[in-house]
Amino acid sequence: MSESRQQAARKCVSCGIKVSGKNAAEFACPDCGTTIYRCATCRKQSNLYECPDCGFRGP
């Protein structure tokens, strides 16, 4: 149980599944700069994302 917090799970902000490096789109929230991850599926479907930090929504 000594999982480091630095490599905490990256979760798709749209569907909440864990994403791993290759499949994830990673970008900064345009509003607050928080790093946001999205899985390939949600990217394909152009699901909306919502920033977990400030609530910003975008395509």
Q: Does residue number 31 form part of the binding site for Zn ion (CB under 5 A)?
A: yes
Partners of residue 17 on adjacent β-strands: none
Which stretches of 1-59 are DSSP H helices? 40-44
Judged by CB under 5 A, which of 10, 24, 42, 49 binds Zn ion? Answer: 42
Judged by CB under 5 A, which of 26, 32, 48, 58 binds Zn ion? Answer: 32
Q: Is 37 helix (H, G, I), strand (E, B) or coil?
A: strand
Part of the chain binding Zn ion (CB under 5 A), chosen from 1-9, 20-28, 33-41:
33-41
Q: Is 26 helix (H, G, I), strand (E, B) or coil?
A: strand
Binding site for Zn ion (CB under 5 A): 12, 14-15, 29, 31-32, 34, 39, 42, 51, 53-54, 56
